Structure 1
Amino acid sequence: MRKAVAEAAQGSTRTATYLFWRTGQILDEDHGRGAVELPSQRSLYRLLEKLSAGKHTTGSARTRRSLADRPDGPFGERSAAAPGELMQMDSTPLDVLVRLDDGVPARVDLTGMIDVATRSLTAAVLRPTTKSVDASVLLARTVTPELMRPGWAQALAMSRSALPFRRLLDIDARMEHAAARPVIVPETIVVDQGKVFISHNFRASCNFLGINFQPVHDASGWEKGHIERMLGSVGTLFAQFLAGYTGFNAERRGRHLEQQPLWSLLELQELLDEWIVVWQSRPHDGLRDPLHPGRMFSPNEKYAALVETAGYVPVALSADDYVELLPATWRAINAYGVKIRHRTYDDQALNPLRQQRSGVKDRKDLWEIHYDPYDVSRIWVRDHWKGGWITLFWKQLHRVAAPFGELAWDHTRRTLPAASEEQLADAVADLLRRAHQGPADRGDAGTGAGLSRRDRRVAARTKSSPPSTPIAPEAPPADPVTDNSEAGQADDAPEENIAKVIPMPIFDPFTEADKRW
């Protein structure tokens, strides 16, 4: 029976009846058919209970494999005394349905990176299928500040957090408008044996930044347990509040999830970025004071403490270095600008290069263009003539609304010095409510259900504002087509509960004369 239990460790889950049958087969193979008589069923159940204790032999297959692969002896842990000294990266499917660009609902992959010393979730990205370029983009976002987005509560700003804002501002001026998420440059990154992380593209990105690349052994998830647990926290503390939540297995999945108002991939990425900033201010059970174990620190508080003790200087990546890490494509510069995935990008700085050859013969005289898969607001064109980068904005950026509101979490205590618990709690409730309801303009429910199409469009234009990226401080160009008078009327329109316009009848003097008689 020990042999039968060992064989079941890596196989599919079966019942105790199968294990009894397999035990009899092993006896017949070793000693001859019928040479050993099996005891009663009750005795077999007692024996199986004793031999399979703590092994999940008839339980979860994933838990059983994890326990079987776990090494014997006491657990060891590599300590990290400074931010970035040891970081871990991993990817897992997110238990949420997302409406993709083609309108098809599907699940997406979540890829994240965590700092072991501070438990800071430095960045996380969502993609339909994780590729090696996504890992490089995640690395680029880790080493650049996260700017505040339109609609975010001021309680999420770095200036109102536990981070050493004034000292960081002296190092990098971009921190003035940054969100409360620290910039951490990795020294060592621990990854698994997935093709995404051991690819040449990601290794090249690590070499570019001088990062020590450390893959774990095969089937050794415990060697990067911090990121494994972190991804599980995203599922329980964020994903289950979203519209379209599927549960982590088929047994926990609801019905007709495809009919719910599902978020798009870009919208869900914005919500996740906002949630990460709030995670940084949440007390973490793994960050306890050794001298006062009853007190828990938040990742931002631990980061501020380690900056003082370890002398860590968080030098963020420059804008040009960030662009260098982004994926590249080659396009022609036309009279109307550059088109990527049916989006047109243009700027006045592109005038000398329109319909010109780049001079790169290996690429058929096309121009090198870098783009962020998680931010469609802008792209960067390499100037092969004079050097440097030219930033191009999406021409339809002014039409994109900002459907993201204020905050995201339930704080058990005051962790942001300049923000009250009441402000944080109200903002948290607002984010979880919006995430659960889904996009209001795609469902039957919501405040705008009884409004006309024009009223909803006016309200959307009133709330609209361009998104921002972690590195580009310049604002997008103004829309030359928009009329100033129309924009002024939209700004004066109320955001909610827009009343129905009832036109006044035309005055008819003959009708009024008839009424007197």
Structure 2
Amino acid sequence: MWHLTSRSYKEPDVDHRWMAEALAVMGSFADRSRPSKTAVIRRTNRNCVERFGEGEVAQPSRATAFRALKILERRQPLFRHSTKRIRDMHQRPARPYGKLPCTRPGEYVYLDTTPLDVFAMDPLTLRWLGVQLTVALDSYTKCVVALVVTVGDPKAVDVASVLYECMRPRPAPDYWPAYASWPEHGVPRCILIDPDAIEQARPRRKKAGRAASGPAITPDTIIVDHAKVYLAKHGTSACARLGISMQPARVREPRDKGPVERFFRTLREDLIQHLDGYKGPDVYSRGLDVEKRAFYYVDELEQIIREWVATVYHHRPHDGLVEPGLPDAAFTPAQMYHHGLARGGYIETPSDPHLAMEFLKVVPRTVQHYGRRREKAGVQGRYRRKAARPTQPVPREVQEQVAGVRRSV
């Protein structure tokens, strides 16, 4: 019979001055290449001799020093993680982490992009492509209000489409369950009824379902990083026209956008790694012949992510959603959205039917007496004559004014 006995771990008996010096040596390698444990031990012994004198600090044996470095690894990582992650961990603030105070939905919205650890195929060229995901995450409800999957790096028009989807969600597909669809947004403040339309008998038409795929939120402030795609004139001009503030996060501070970074990890662990074509977070985690397995097209991959967000993520308790009055209650993002409506009141979204025009790129053009020219109209050959023709009718009053100016000249 085997008897299982527990062994109590005994910490190494090392001088506290040697431990403090070893911790300082490990911290000095935060921005440098990774050394070996033997090199750290030798430098620590040399620093102790230079600082305290020969024989003042007892030097531990090799095995004891290795155990001491294992304990110090918890306070100052150096040997386990990648050097890039070690630099990020070294920049962590010494004070406790805080939370961005929010009182209602739409007060702060995070925008961020991440590469997806899965291959997709272009339906036109039939080539394997790397895709990236851009999402808009509400800070108060943790709801994913908009997303887009792009091939390669996103463009400014992709960021503008994400902002537009925040205010005008896409219609939900018919095959989604009822709980995953959101009601159509936009309740008018006043309703005018035409009595003639009520009295006249008209044939009934089948009412089309207008369920939305997500909540409609008008962002007050969007939090972005310093990527050029977010700070481009295309997006900043659209935000200025709609009264949306833009707050860039601090440089090399991923903790400023902690909720959206945590969503990316949840997406990878709960969905992406279970899909066909999953390639792992790095080349060292990639399987053999991933390209020969099943795959998804780019549009199919985006639809799968949208369905998972609507059916799973929005209706699963979120650890980051806490109500001070109910500390033990577990809220889902969908429940927190309705709670925010009851708490913050009416959320007004733009009612302009041509709202999409506000998110288009603004290009300056001059209007001449003959109309306006299109971009790149000055080409050679027969296209020059076609491009020089008026592209829009000129009012008769303008033509008469131009003719009078020519006669006077």
Is 1:292–2:326 an aligned residue pair? yes
Residue pair 1:86, 1:186 contacting (<8 A) in 2 also: yes
CA shift, 1:85, in A, is: 0.6
Three-state SS of the structure 2 residue aligned to 1:214 is strand
Letter matched to residue 325 of structure 1: F
Amino acid at match of 2:375: R
1:90 aligned partner, one-letter code: D
The answer to whether the aligner puts 1:244 opposite 2:265 as a matched pair is no
Give, in whole Å, the separation in 1 of the partners of 2:190 and 2:289.
49
Change in CA separation of 1:272 and 1:85 when aligned onto 2, cut-off 3 Å: same
Distance in 2 separating the partners of 1:175 and 1:285: 37
Could you tell me whether the CA contact under 8 Å between 2:235 and 2:359 is conserved in 1?
no
C-alpha displacement at 1:225, in angstroms? 0.7
C-alpha contact (below 8 Å) 1:184/1:316 kept by paired residues = no
Distance 2:374 2:50 in 1: 66
Q: Corresponding residue for 1:186? A: 219
CA contact (8 A) 1:157 1:177 kept: no
Which residue in the other structure is 2:78 paired with? 57
Matches within 5 A, 1:264-283: 264-278=297-311, 279-283=313-317
Specify the alignment match of 1:378 in structure 2.
none
Cα distance, 1:261–1:5 mapped onto 2, change above 3 Å: same
Give the structure-2-normalised TM-score: 0.71
Q: CA deviation at 1:269?
A: 1.4
Residue 160 of structure 2 aligns to a residue in which SS? helix
Tell me, yes or no, if structure 1 residue 105 matches structure 2 residue 128. yes
User: Which has more radius of gyration?
Assistant: 2
* In structure 2, distance between residues paired with 1:13 and 1:319: 58
2:383 aligns to what? none
Match of 1:94 among 113, 116, 120: 116
Give distance in 2, aligned partners of 1:295 and 1:284: 11
Deviations 1:70-114 (A, max 9, x none): 111122222101111111111111111111343222321111111
- Identity %, equivalent residues: 27
Alignment partner of 2:147 out of 124, 135, 147: 124
1:304-349 Cα distance to aligned partner (Å, 9 max, x none): 11112112323146442224314689xxxxxxxxxxxxxxxxxxxx
Counterpart position of 1:156? 180
- Counterpart secondary structure, 2:219: coil
Q: How many residues align?
A: 336
**Structure 2, unaligned runs of 5 or more:** 1-21, 192-206, 364-369, 379-390, 394-409
Unmatched 5+ residue regions in structure 1?
160-164, 330-357, 367-383, 387-517
Query: For 1:226 and 1:51, how far apart are their aligned partners in 2?
Result: 29
Tell me the CA shift for residue 125 of structure 1. Answer: 1.3
Q: CA deviation at 1:257?
A: 0.9
CA distance in structure 1 between the partners assigned to 2:154 and 2:44 by the alignment? 43
Give the stretch that moved more between structures: 272-281 or 214-223: 272-281
**Matches of 1:129 and 1:144, distance apart in 2:** 24
What's 1:79 paired with? 101
Q: Is the 8 A contact 1:156 1:179 kept in 2?
A: no
2:342 aligned with 1:314: no
> Quick one: which amino acid aligns to residue 265 of structure 2?
G
RMSD (CA atoms): 3.6
Match of 2:251 in 1: 218
Cα distance between partner residues in 1 of 2:121 and 2:50: 54
Using a 3 Å threshold, how does the CA distance of structure 1 residues 197 and 4 change in structure 2: closer, same or farther? farther
AA paired with 2:316?
R
Give the equivalent residue in structure 2 for 1:10: 31
The answer to whether the Cα contact below 8 Å between 2:103 and 2:140 also exists between their aligned partners in 1 is yes
